[in-house]
Amino acid sequence: MNQYSVQPIKPVEATPWILEKHYAKRMPTISHAFGLYRGVELCGVVTYGVPASPFLCIGVCGPEHKDIVLELNRLCLMDGIPNGASFLVARSLKMLPCPTVVVSYADTAMGHVGYIYQAANFLFTGTTKERTDMAAGDGKHSRHHKGDPEDRVSRSAKHRYVYFVGTKTQKQALSAALRYQVEPYPKGESKRYDAGGHVPTQPLLFPALNEEWTV
């Protein structure tokens, strides 16, 4: 991976990747976004944002840590970059504020196990149960539901992973506050899903000035 680097990017730079390449086809809340670059070519993105559920923010490490919880909510890459996803995730974690509690999910319905998170030393904290939510329509999150309790959509089971960003002391404190039980990593065949859209590449001409770009 010597020819690759990870740089902060603006959320707008991640938008075409999320809408064209990610299976959800829906923009999440983005607090931090990072790009994987091969030289000056953008090859993938990862984004972090405040979780849609306030109960998740409280439930991970308690109400005293709810304001530092972020969800790794989108990860999209070009094809043909071995270990690119785990490299992007691992490097981006080091650029998040300290302390931060990061939560991410591997969707079992898409054949995802979470090997990327396992490679980045996330903690596996169990699998959510399948359930139904009130439908929102137009690809929106269920929190924007239409209010019809009879119109429901299925939500698949997801493997939940947690990672602590911070100093050794901060990580120890967050680990002690973790409310989920840490379990052995799940295994199985993992499928890679690509929505197949084309994303025009945006070159990085001035890495040090990238945060000042608008597109």
Q: What is the reported pLDDT for 116? A: 96
State the average pLDDT over residues 71-90. 95
44 backbone dihedrals φ, ψ, rounded to 5°: 180, 165
At 156, list the tokens.
């698949």
DSSP state of 208: G
Backbone angles phi, psi at 133, to 5 degrees: -125, 160
Whole-number average pLDDT of the chain? 85
pLDDT per position as a tens digit, 29-41: 999 999 999 999 9
pLDDT > 90: percent of the chain:
68
187, two tokens = 């295994």
- Domains, the chain, ordered by start: 4-206 (3.40.630.30)
Contacts of range 12-18, beta carbons closer than 8 Å, 24 or more positions apart: 12/214, 12/215, 13/42, 13/45, 13/202, 13/213, 13/215, 14/45, 14/47, 14/74, 16/199, 16/200, 17/44, 17/45, 17/74, 17/76, 17/199, 18/45, 18/47, 18/74, 18/76
Q: What is the pLDDT of residues 94-113, one digit of tens each?
A: 999 999 999 999 999 888 99
| Full-model pTM | 0.82
Q: Tell the residue number behind the tokens 């409310």, with chain if given.
A: 179
